[in-house]
Amino acid sequence: MRFYNHMPAREIRDALGASMWDRYLTVCLERSPYEKVISLYFHRHRTEPRIPIDAFIESGEFRDAFNWGLYTDGGEVMVDVIVRHEHLQSGLDALCARVGLPALTLPRAKSQFRPPGSDYRQVLTPAARQAIEEAYAAEFTHHGYTW
């Protein structure tokens, strides 16, 4: 079995076998759907003039940031730990302590793609917000993300 980036947990468990899967500490990273969509938008449309955010939403491309199916099976969370992006360093610190590793400091990767001051509350239109809330409803419900 070949493993690949963003491989769903269900496929990994099936490849390893349930007994081996259960021996591992399984971890994933999750982020507010609003933040994920805005990050994806600026990553894919790096330079001006960018397409309008509503065109990005209407294209359906915003759904490419959907992670729920990567760490769930039938709506049930399969991983032991979900580290939330907004608490990334403290989540990593807790994981390191849990497995006996020294503390690690994360680099600021990919932050150059998003312009300063591009808070999702200023970028998303009401229609875009509604589309994200509908498409990512399971993540909003499970993680309690709010506007």
Under 8 Å between Cβ of 27 and 79: yes
pLDDT tens for 32-66 read 999 999 999 999 998 889 999 999 999 999 999 99
pLDDT tens for 67-94 read 999 999 999 999 999 999 999 999 999 9
Give 16-54 as a DSSP string.
H-HHHHHHS--EEEE--HHHHHHHHHHHHS-SSSPPPHH
pTM of the complete model: 0.87
